[in-house]
């Protein structure tokens, strides 16, 4: 008998799950109250990466003399930046809509869904009607939304979230960014290149990353021209004329600073979208900050109802992880035996320079008492990086001393976010360092830097002293 499955939310978790379910022969109801593509396509990954490209171009233009090119008087048109973003997002959203409609066994329902019981969902349709649908299973993929800190003054005009900033045509003269997570760092780095004077107030730089990275990134940012304060918390925001003043206090010092800007971006985290789903009545356990409780199969505390992506309590807010959880749940529901390894997924940060990491950090290896070897290769010794004018940064690789399995990789530098996948492949498949050293890498490429870093584990790197 055909299985009927409801998917609530059409972000990268939900729409990917829906398509995989349809491919496997299920009858899918995909309910979305806003736009197909969710946060990722409309207010997250894609809009920020169109801005990132502008930031890269602005940076290159500023350095044009280095390349023997004279470029005078260039300036960014904020309206054109918005239009380009909208065009890219529109093309992708349109593509996904077409893709979904090409599956005859996916019914796309625009509206807001809530759960009546484990086999029934209720949809408040966009035209004001209500529809009840009976299903065998429900997958909640309602994602996340920005959360505000409890800092005094966050409700003042000019204090904004990432959603607001991505809608603004104006490039603020001075932008204060509160938060040192991925979203805060990306916006800080991008807006500094777009022309703002960015002041970064970060209580820490990223989470669970290589300590050298947390030390080096602020140095890169300062070089970029950013005012960077780390180990500091915003305490209060005050309106001063048409400006905003942020008072921030160092975590371990009895010292405060005051900074003044035109806008304050609060990038202090995102919380699960759980309102209106009727979780309490159905008996699904959740926490308003951490998300819906799930087991290792992403099943909630109610059998047959699953929660994937940003909304569950696993704390991994990444589009590719949401999609892989969606595929896993659907394949399992359709009788397959899928595999998912949530210990190994690439983390990418689109700052300038880019940052990417996968697997274990040196600190985690020490905590786990794993005997390890490590090696670091500098992009300054890589021909392609120097030709690009991007000789800053490094690739660091960790492997087990005993069996030479590669366990962790951190990259800072040009195209780190693409380079990381060779490492992710090796770690996800438990491969040893010879899987890389046996593979001839093309010259001149950035990938050679990874090969050299791995050769360095056995002191065989050619271009390393
Ligand atoms: P979402 O994408 O949030 O989708 C949930 C959908 O559910 C939404 O469309 C919502 O309208 C809908 N919905 C909610 N409630 C209901 C309801 N009751 N009924 C019907 N529909 C409902 N991740 C990366 O991997 N790479 C990046 O570069 C990256 N950059 C980011 C930049 C920013 C500024 C932000 C904010 C996020 C970024 N992320 C990035 C994170 C990424 O966007 C999320 O991890 C991803 O979108 C999560 O997917 P999801 O399907 O779980 O939820």
Per-residue confidence band for 28, with pLDDT thresholds at 50, 70 and 90 = very high
Determine the straight-line distance between the first and last CA of the chain, rounded to whole angstroms.
65
The structure tokens listed for 58 are 């602005």
Q: Where are the domains of the chain?
A: 4-145+271-334, 149-267, 353-457
Q: Which atom of ligand 1 is nearest to the CA of 9?
A: 7
What is the C-alpha separation between 32 and 36, in angstroms, rounded? 7
Per-residue confidence band for 247, with pLDDT thresholds at 50, 70 and 90 = very high
Name the fold adopted by 149-267: FAD/NAD(P)-binding domain (3.50.50)
* Paired strand residues for 397: 375, 409
Q: What is the predicted pLDDT for the residue at 461?
A: 81
What is the C-alpha separation between 382 and 444, in angstroms, rounded? 8
Average the pLDDT over 306-314 and give the result. Answer: 98
Q: What is the predicted pLDDT for the residue at 180?
A: 96
Q: What is the predicted pLDDT for the residue at 252?
A: 85
3-state secondary structure (DSSP) of residue 331: helix
* Paired strand residues for 178: 201, 266
What is the C-alpha separation between 2 and 9, in angstroms, rounded? 22
DSSP character for 412?
E
The structure tokens listed for 308 are 């994937």
Q: Is 443 a catalytic residue?
A: yes
Nearest CA to ligand 1 atom 28: 45
Q: Give the model confidence (pLDDT) of 109-138 as tens digits.
A: 999 999 999 999 999 998 889 999 999 999
Report whether pLDDT(150) > 90: no
Average the pLDDT over 307-322 and give the result. Answer: 97
Q: What is the predicted pLDDT for the residue at 324?
A: 98
Q: Is the dihedral of CA 434, 437, 440, 441 positive or negative?
A: positive
Q: What is the predicted pLDDT for the residue at 1?
A: 85
Average the pLDDT over 339-350 and give the result. Answer: 95
Q: Give the model confidence (pLDDT) of 248-280 as tens digits.
A: 999 988 899 999 999 999 998 899 999 999 999
Q: Give the model confidence (pLDDT) of 39-83 as tens digits.
A: 999 999 999 999 999 999 999 999 999 999 999 889 999 999 999
- The answer to whether the CB of 301 falls within 8 A of the CB of 118 is no
3-state secondary structure (DSSP) of residue 372: strand
Report whether pLDDT(453) > 90: yes
Q: What is the predicted pLDDT for the residue at 220?
A: 94
Report whether pLDDT(455) > 80: yes
Q: Give the model confidence (pLDDT) of 211-221 as tens digits.
A: 999 999 999 99
Cis peptide before 353 (omega within 30 of 0): yes
Pocket of ligand 1 (CB under 6 A): 8-14, 31-34, 38-40, 43-45, 48, 112-113, 141-144, 162, 183, 273, 276-277, 309-311, 317-320, 322
What is the C-alpha separation between 465 and 459, in angstroms, rounded? 9
Q: How far is CA 371 from CA 246, 368, 397, in A?
A: 45, 9, 14
Question: Binding residue per annotation — 336?
Answer: no
What class is the 4-145+271-334 domain?
A: alpha beta
Q: Are 4-145+271-334 and 149-267 the same fold in CATH?
A: yes
Average the pLDDT over 16-35 and give the result. Answer: 98
Helix 211-224 / helix 182-194 crossing angle, nearest 10 deg? 20
Residue 212 contacts by C-beta under 8 Å, 6 or more apart in sequence? 396, 410
73 φψ region: left (φ > 0), alpha (ψ -120 to 50), beta (else)? left
- Ligand 1: residue of 97, 139, 143 to mutate (most ligand atoms within 8 A of CB) is 143
Per-chain mean pLDDT for the chain: 96
Q: What is the predicted pLDDT for the residue at 58?
A: 97
Percent of the chain whose predicted confidence (pLDDT) is above 70 = 100
What is the C-alpha separation between 212 and 216, in angstroms, rounded? 6
Kindly indicate whether the domain formed by 353-457 is annotated with CATH number 3.40.228.10: no
- The answer to whether the CB of 62 falls within 8 A of the CB of 225 is no
Biggest distance spanned by C-alpha atoms of the chain: 71
What is the C-alpha separation between 399 and 437, in angstroms, rounded? 13
Q: Give the model confidence (pLDDT) of 157-200 as tens digits.
A: 999 999 999 999 999 999 999 999 999 999 999 999 999 999 99
Q: What is the predicted pLDDT for the residue at 208?
A: 87
Q: Give the model confidence (pLDDT) of 229-243 as tens digits.
A: 999 999 999 999 999
What is the C-alpha separation between 305 and 295, in angstroms, rounded? 11
DSSP character for 336?
-
Residue 85 contacts by C-beta under 8 Å, 6 or more apart in sequence? 47, 50, 51, 166
- Tokens 């809009």, located at residue: 47
- The answer to whether the CB of 369 falls within 8 A of the CB of 43 is no
Nearest CA to ligand 1 atom 12: 9
Q: What is the predicted pLDDT for the residue at 175?
A: 98
Report whether pLDDT(399) > 80: yes
- The answer to whether the CB of 441 falls within 8 A of the CB of 451 is yes
Q: Give the model confidence (pLDDT) of 386-395 as tens digits.
A: 999 999 999 9
Report whether pLDDT(18) > 80: yes
Phi and psi dihedrals of 380, rounded to 5? Answer: -60, -20
- Ligand 1: residue of 17, 38, 424 to mutate (most ligand atoms within 8 A of CB) is 38
């Amino acid at each position: 008998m055909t299985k009927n499955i409801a998917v609530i939310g059409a972000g990268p978790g939900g729409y990917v799950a829906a398509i995989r379910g349809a491919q496997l022969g299920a009858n899918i109801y995909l309910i979305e109250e806003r736009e197909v593509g969710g946060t990722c396509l409309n207010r997250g990954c894609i809009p920020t990466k169109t801005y990132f490209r502008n930031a890269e171009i602005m940076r290159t233009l500023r350095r044009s003399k280095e390349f023997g090119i004279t470029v005078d008087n260039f300036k960014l048109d904020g309206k054109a930046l918005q239009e380009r973003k909208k065009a890219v997002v529109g093309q992708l959203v349109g593509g996904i809509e077409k893709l979904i409609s090409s599956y005859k066994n996916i019914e796309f329902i625009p509206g807001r869904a809530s759960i009546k019981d484990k086999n029934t969902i209720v949809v408040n349709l966009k035209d004001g009607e209500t529809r009840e649908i009976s299903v065998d299973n429900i997958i909640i993929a309602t994602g996340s939304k920005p959360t505000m800190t409890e800092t005094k003054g966050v409700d003042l005009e000019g204090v904004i979230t990432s959603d607001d900033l991505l809608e603004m045509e104006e490039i603020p003269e001075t932008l204060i960014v509160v938060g040192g997570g991925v979203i805060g760092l990306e916006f800080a780095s991008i807006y500094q290149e777009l022309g703002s004077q960015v002041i970064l107030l970060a209580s820490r730089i990223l989470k669970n990353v290589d300590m050298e990275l947390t030390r080096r990134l602020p140095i890169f940012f300062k070089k970029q021209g950013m005012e960077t304060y780390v180990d500091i918390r915003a305490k209060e925001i005050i309106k001063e004329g048409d400006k905003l003043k942020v008072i921030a206090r160092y975590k371990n010092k009895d010292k405060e600073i005051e900074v003044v800007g035109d806008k304050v971006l609060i990038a202090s985290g995102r919380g699960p979208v759980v309102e209106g789903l009727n979780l309490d009545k159905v008996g699904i356990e959740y926490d308003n900050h951490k998300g819906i409780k799930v087991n290792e199969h992403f099943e909630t505390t109610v059998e047959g109802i699953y929660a994937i992506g940003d909304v569950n309590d696993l704390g991994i807010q990444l589009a590719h992880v949401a999609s892989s959880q969606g595929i896993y749940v659907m394949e399992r529901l359709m009788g397959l035996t899928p595999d998912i390894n949530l210990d190994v997924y690439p983390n990418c940060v689109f700052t300038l320079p880019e940052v990417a990491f996968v697997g274990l950090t040196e600190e985690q290896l020490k905590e786990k008492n794993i005997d390890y070897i490590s090696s670091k290769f500098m992009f300054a010794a890589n021909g392609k990086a120097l030709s690009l004018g991007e000789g800053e940064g490094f690739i660091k690789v960790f492997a087990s001393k005993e069996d030479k399995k590669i366990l962790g990789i951190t990259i800072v530098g040009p195209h780190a976010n693409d380079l990381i996948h060779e490492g992710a492949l090796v770690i996800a498949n438990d491969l040893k360092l010879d899987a890389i050293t046996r593979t001839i890498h093309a010259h001149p490429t950035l990938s050679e830097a990874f090969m050299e870093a791995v050769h360095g584990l056995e002191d065989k790197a050619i271009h390393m002293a």
